[in-house]
Structure 1
Amino acid sequence: MMEKSDNGLTITTITTNTNAAVVVVAAVTTTTTTTTTTTATTTTTTTTTTTTTTTTTTATTTTSTTTSTFT
């Protein structure tokens, strides 16, 4: 899923669910462009910052079986 908001931030969220393990990867890319104009000189600076956060949650299910014999 790709969403873009009005403030220029692009947020990409990928969710994968396999065998009770949930992996969520969120990447936020921020692009800042600064233009400075002086006499007959134009300088353009572009800064791109990418932050990636990965969270892994693993669910474990334990099954216990007890057998009793009465005589």
Structure 2
Amino acid sequence: MLAIRLPDELEKRLDNLAKLTGRTKTFYARQAIERHLDDLEDLYLAEQRLTEICAGRSQPIPLEDVLKRYDLED
């Protein structure tokens, strides 16, 4: 279960969309999350990894090593 607070303007837009289309606000919230969660995960996990590399807590992996490891070399 998830409960979120939205700014008034966003809440009004979502409510209006739901009324005009006969769908629920939950339907549209779920759609938005499903469509953008992959991008958010990629972004925030990459930022976290970069922070760890810059702080010396982790080392980058050269592209050549990744390609070799997964047998993706030309």
* TM, length-normalised to structure 1: 0.29
Structure that is richer in strand per residue: 1
Structure that is richer in helix per residue: 2
* TM, length-normalised to structure 2: 0.28
